[in-house]
Structure 1
Amino acid sequence: MADTVDELKALVTRHARGPRTETTICGVSLLQSRTTTEPTAGMTELTMCLVLQGEKDISCGVNALVYGEGHYFVATIEIPVVGRISRASRREPFLGIGFNFDQAALAELIAEMPESGDPDLMCGLGISPTQPELADAFLRLIRLLDRPDEIPVLAPMLKREILFRLLQGPQGAKLRQIAYAGSRQSNLRRALGWMRENYTEPFKVEDLARMAGMSVSVFHRQFKVATSLTPIQYQKSFRLHEARRLLLEKAGDAAGVAFAVGYESVSQFSREYARMFGAPPVRDVARLKTTQTSSYTDRRKAALVETSPATREGS
């Protein structure tokens, strides 16, 4: 498998244009970082990350996961996490591939596989070693970046093979949970979706449990298993993520944003924001904007170098 991984590293290095590069293959991104990063809070998507070099760690509630080369990470539920690149350097940058899950494609594929019952609800995050067959499928997919005319025909087939390999692997039960319309996780995600859409509103756990088709005690237990958080902690985390997004996208003051996301106390908002993101709102946003500007400048320099006459002559 070493030759497969080496070729994948070379392809990612050649095509990556920054920390995250969305490719012309829908749902596939390239990840690259020449430095370690500070812990950053974010929301997971229904996705996986195949690590080729370097190391990342991610935490949610009391759960902490560390994954590096030779492993892949999956997220099958939308939950707030704190993650960072913990091993990377200019000589050996962090390299990885992001792959978003298509629920419809998963459901269609599962329907063609041997019958499998709804597994017990489990944590929506997981890590497993990369099987040679999975790495090979990714290699054939990423090679298409050099043959863009072939992407419309071959990419869907290769993405389907990747889903098949994942379903056959140790994280397969997690993926089945997001594909079954009536699974325990599907029912729980219905309640989570309501919480995200109505994050400024107070809620009753009884109503959420009814939405998920569970008793209150079962809902509390299953919610904690899947997200590592209580419903109140989940709502608070989502409010703070939305506040950060608003502060970055709009020229609003912290007090106004605090009220906009459902807080009644500005001081409580500032305390909880600093606890999650490591700095008070104004300082955190200023730091983020500086980082974004620096990242854009680095990508611009790389693009200029790549398109310079000297570079073209030497290629």
Structure 2
Amino acid sequence: MTSAPDNDQPLLARLEAKLLAIAKTEGDFTTAIPALTVHRRNSVTEPMPCIYSLGLAITVRGGKQVTFGNEVFNYEPGEALLASVDMPAVSRVTRGSAAEPYMGIMLCLDTRMVLEMAAQLPLRRNRKGASQIGIRTHKLDPAILDAITRLVDVNAQPALCQAVAPLIQREIICRILVSDCGPAFLSLNEGANPGRQIASCMAWMKQNYMESVSIESLAEQAFMSPTSFRQHFKAVAGMSPLQYLKNVRLQEARVLMLNEGAEAGAAGLKVGYESVSQFNREYSRLFGAPPLRDVKRVREQQVLVQHKPEGE
């Protein structure tokens, strides 16, 4: 995504107004387009572990910071974080207030649609030895901002949404593919190259996180030696395979406790931990507090948001 000129401000202002009409209060909002969500925060936030899925996370107003492995990414209005694979990260809003809330969009991308569009375009491939890191930030091209705005527009038009939204999503993917980050993005989503093999392995781990796995079995699945597998995995994910699996398990356990009311010990065992004490230790290390205290803190924050008068 090439650098955008200063005249992208009218595009951002137009998009911001549409998002404020969807997100009238603080929170996360779904839309009629399953791949598109809108996010509003009325204050800065504490660092929060999360998983970024294949897609674009766009800041429209305010500021956000994402820590991924040892890398720290900051993205401002008109900038986006592009995740090529499912990536554990730590995210926080760095600029946002009740008067000027943080406004952001998440657009999930479909791998099949990416490959379909790639087959129709004359694309550059990633040069040998180039970085295959699974996450990066970029200044959005005005054409992509315009397409995103049109996608938000069609969300409000039920008669057109089902037919038109996929066309705009394809346009956005095409514009990403022909941008500067296109070759690296594509290399993690097609072909029999090491990056794609690692991405496939990561997808398998995310679906089968409850299973006990070894580096040797994962390497065999990726058709690599254990040493080569570790090296390629860290180049894409910014962490070791077992750290990645641990992050996925802990995130899933947190969802079980928050959304299904599971007890901490039961959640830990369900996601693959054999020791409750180990689960508690690793959970505290990732989320900054033991499971019960963390879940209580999150629920209290949700109650405060729900009962906070708009504009306060």
* Fold equivalence (TM over 0.5): yes
Q: Distance in 2 between matches of 1:73 and 1:280?
A: 30
1:139-168 CA distance string (max 9 Å, x none): 222222343323233322222211111112
Q: Do the aligned partners of residues 26 and 211 (structure 1) sit closer, same or farther apart at CA in structure 2, a change above 3 Å counting? A: same
Deviates more, 1:280-289 or 1:13-22: 13-22
Q: Flag the 1:22–1:253 CA change in 2: closer, same or farther, 3 A.
A: closer
| 1:4 alignment partner, one of 8, 11, 17 | 11
- Alpha-carbon separation, structure 1, partners of 2:120 and 2:272: 45
SS of residue matched to 1:161? helix
Distance in structure 1 (CA, Å) of the matches to 2:18 and 2:204: 40
Q: Which runs of 5+ in 1 are unaligned?
A: 306-315
2:146 counterpart of 1:136? yes
Match of 2:132 in 1: 122
Aligned residue for 1:82? 90
Aligned to 2:265: 255
CA 1:181 to 1:26, structure 2 compared with 1: closer, same or farther past 3 Å?
A: farther
- 1:63 counterpart = 2:71: yes
Q: Aligned pair in 2 of structure 1 residues 205, 90: CA closer, same or farther (>3 Å)?
A: same
How many residue pairs are counted as aligned between the two chains? 301
Q: Which structure 2 residues correspond to residues 157-306 of structure 1 after superposition, within 5 A? A: 157-297=167-307
> Given the alignment, which residue of 30, 39, 45 partners 2:47?
39
Match for residue 23 of structure 1 among 31, 42, 60: 31
Q: Higher Cα Rg: structure 1 or 2?
A: 1
Helix, strand or coil at the partner of 2:167: helix
Mapped partners of 1:26, 1:265: distance in 2: 37
- 8 Å CA contact 2:55–2:107 kept in 1: the answer is yes
Aligned mates of 1:260, 1:50 — CA distance in 2: 34
State the Cα distance separating 1:50 from its structure 2 match. Answer: 1.8
Which sits farther off after the overlay, 230-239 or 150-159?
150-159
CA pair 260-96 structure 1, distance change in 2 beyond 3 A: closer
Structure 1 residue 26 displacement after superposition: 3.2
Q: Is the 8 A contact 2:123 2:183 kept in 1?
A: no
Task: Please list the CA deviations of residues 106-129 of structure 1 after superposition, one character each: whole Å capped at 9, or x if unmatched.
Answer: 111111111544554511111011
Q: Is the 8 A contact 1:118 1:184 kept in 2?
A: no
Change in CA separation of 1:161 and 1:196 when aligned onto 2, cut-off 3 Å: closer
In 1, the alpha carbon distance for the partners of 2:86 and 2:251 equals 13
Q: CA deviation at 1:197?
A: 3.6
SS of 1:38's equivalent in the other structure is: coil
Letter in 2 for 1:256: A
**What percentage of residue pairs aligned between the two structures are identical?**
31
Tell me, in whole angstroms, the C-alpha distance in 2 between the residues paired with 1:249 and 1:159.
Answer: 30
User: Take 1:68 and 1:290, find their aligned partners in 2: how far apart are those partners?
Assistant: 29
**Greater displacement, 8-17 / 199-208:** 199-208
Q: CA deviation at 1:296?
A: 4.0
- Residue 113 of structure 1 is matched in structure 2 by 121
Give the AA of the match of 2:170: R
Q: Out of 184-193 and 78-87, give the one that drifted further.
A: 184-193
Aligned partner of 2:3 in structure 1 is: none
How high is the TM-score relative to the length of structure 2? 0.88
Deviation at 1:297, TM superposition (A): 4.2
TM-aligned CA deviation for residue 181 of structure 1: 4.6
Residue 42 of structure 1 contacts residue 81 of structure 1 at CA under 8 Å; is this kept in 2?
yes
Contact 2:189 2:199 in 1 (8 A): no
The one-letter code matched in structure 2 to 1:39 is P
- Report deviation, 1:173: 2.1
- Cα gap change, 1:254 to 1:22, in 2 (>3 Å): closer
Paired residues of 2:215 and 2:226 also in contact (CA < 8 A): yes
* Contact 2:265 2:276 (8 Å CA) reproduced: yes
